[in-house]
Amino acid sequence: VKTILQDKSGKAEPRTAAGRPRSEHLDRAILKAAVDLVLGSGFRALSMDAIAVKAGVGRMTIYRRWPNKAAIIMDAFVLRVDPDTLFFPASSFKESIRLQMRTMAKAFRGKDGALIRVLLAEAQFDPELAKALRERWTMPRRKMAVDYFRTGVGQGVLRSDIDLDAMIDLLYAPLYYRLQMGTGPLSDAYVDEIFEHGMKGLEA
């Protein structure tokens, strides 16, 4: 999935081969229209045409920017969450993890949760989207977590004989599970339960 917005992390202005740059304003209008429609009526009821009409835009203008609906939602999602900082300082190393888990759970309870559910689901059918989701959402966050957890190991707070990936999965996978399965609320109480007992196995 190659889109304009993802390239913005680089320096170059998004330009067409020889002509003028694509309108930033239209990008936003389309993303907003798409997100509104998804949150309003669900991804299945979302059509390129509906996005185009709602954004006041020709269909080709959308196709020029994104290959399919999922890529639009992908960009919209990344745009929303990018500025997030991950691990805030807290009273202790451990507490800052709990805080981060709570922040994530809160996001999952809101619009971000709805979007990520759509993206995760769609990614099962679309390898390109799966790759994009991995590269632009999952892996960056995992990397930050791994780095943070590694400092915990260095500080002697976390055990050194556990695979860092497994550590992360142990704490965070339950949040994704509840997000998708709906077997129970993603409440702070739940987060705490997972955190408390999950950490037991990770502490030095």
Q: Summarize as ranges the residues that interact with DNA (CB under 7 A).
A: 16-23, 26, 45-50, 56-61, 63-65, 68-69
Under the binding rule (CB under 8 A), the answer on residue 113 touching a copy of itself is no
The region, left, alpha or beta by phi > 0 then psi within -120 to 50, assigned to residue 96 is alpha
Instruction: Calculate Rg over the CA atoms of the chain.
Output: 19
* Residue 15 β-bridge partners: 21
Question: What burial class does residue 68 get, using C-beta atoms within 10 Å of its C-beta: 0-12 exposed, 13-18 middle, 19+ buried?
Answer: middle
Q: Do 37 and 54 contact (CB within 8 A), yes or no?
A: yes
Tell me which of DNA, a copy of itself, none is bound by residue 93, counting a contact when its beta carbon lies within the kind-specific cut-off of 5 to 8 angstroms: none
Nearer Cβ to a copy of itself (107/175): 175
Q: Which residue has the tokens 């050194």?
A: 160
Residue 12 interface partner, choices DNA, a copy of itself, none, CB cut-off 5-8 Å depending on type: none
Residue 97 CA to residue 148 CA, distance in Å, equals: 9
Total residues interacting with a copy of itself, rule: CB under 8 A: 45
Of 93 and 176, nearer to a copy of itself (C-beta) is: 176
Residues in touch with a copy of itself (CB under 8 A): 42-44, 117-118, 120-126, 130, 134, 138-139, 142, 162-163, 165-167, 169-170, 172-174, 176-178, 180-184, 190, 193-194, 196-202
